[in-house]
Amino acid sequence: MSTTATPHSIVADGLTKRFGDFVAVDAVSFRVNKGEIFGFLGANGAGKTTAIRMLCGLSIPTSGKGTVAGFDVYTQTERIKRNIGYMSQKFSLYEDLSVTENIEFFAGIYGLSRDRIRTKREELIAKLGLVQEADKLVGALPLGWKQKLAFSVAVFHQPQIVFLDEPTGGVDPVTRRQFWDLIYEAADAGITVFVTTHYLDEAEYCDRVSIMVDGRIAALDTPTELKKQFGTGTMDSVFYELARGAKRGGA
């Protein structure tokens, strides 16, 4: 792939999205390195989801520049889609298909061969401990299992980058821990992870963290540096310092 030439998985340069008079994302600029776990934090309504949608090729930016996996966010959205995985806020597997059928479907979409799907599928089901549930409908699984499965499906085709939009919402702490084990595993395999979350303990697991306030990036650094900058011991207070000045949403 031609993308090996650039050291960055994601480049955003003044990326902006307007809806009428409302500037949802206001000239954000950042770079995400290959294999990095990049935390994308912000209060509700700060513009995180809109930013992610632009990077995934679901929404065309109003202005600014951006590339994802080396492809342009204006003109090469379909090529971007070939190289990313995505797991949205809303649970997005088919509830009326079984575990096996969901894996087969999403893997098939990316053109993986049948044999390859079969072997990898067995491995995955065993790893997630879903052997008993393989033929059950996904709708019947507990939320935590669904989320782990959705993540595994999102990285099943080994994309360069995976976008996770609040993947652990509503999940218990133990499952959240297991979920992050899966994220680390994916990052170790060379997949860049771009993750939004409201859990600030999860921010500590990221290599670098950006915090969005009112459509702008208010801070961007490693968790350690950010805490030093704001003279506090927790990401919680860093976030609070930044987000309490927000004019929109209700953090």
Chain contacts with other proteins (rule: CB under 8 A)? 56-60, 77-78, 81-82, 84, 86, 88, 90-97, 101, 104-106, 108-111, 163
- At its nearest, how many Å lie between other proteins and the CB of residue 181? 23
Q: Cα–Cα distance between 126 and 114 in angstroms, integer? A: 18
- Would you tell me the crossing angle of helices 143-154 and 99-109 to the nearest 10 degrees? 20
Helices first, then strands: H and E counts in the chain: 9, 10
* Cβ-based nearer residue to other proteins, 106 or 239: 106
* Cβ-based nearer residue to other proteins, 118 or 177: 118
Q: Cα–Cα distance between 47 and 24 in angstroms, integer? A: 5
- At its nearest, how many Å lie between other proteins and the CB of residue 199? 21
Q: Cα–Cα distance between 184 and 2 in angstroms, integer? A: 26
> 86 and 156 in contact (C-beta within 8 Å)?
no
Query: Around 52, how many Cα atoms within 13 Å sit in the side-chain half-sphere?
Result: 27
Q: Cα–Cα distance between 84 and 237 in angstroms, integer? A: 33
* Cβ-based nearer residue to other proteins, 157 or 227: 157
* Cβ-based nearer residue to other proteins, 39 or 159: 159
* Cβ-based nearer residue to other proteins, 93 or 200: 93
- At its nearest, how many Å lie between other proteins and the CB of residue 156? 12
Q: Cα–Cα distance between 174 and 221 in angstroms, integer? A: 27
Residue in the block written with tokens 């999102």: 154
- At its nearest, how many Å lie between other proteins and the CB of residue 236? 30
> 243 and 43 in contact (C-beta within 8 Å)?
yes
- At its nearest, how many Å lie between other proteins and the CB of residue 174? 26
- At its nearest, how many Å lie between other proteins and the CB of residue 87? 8
* Cβ-based nearer residue to other proteins, 17 or 227: 17
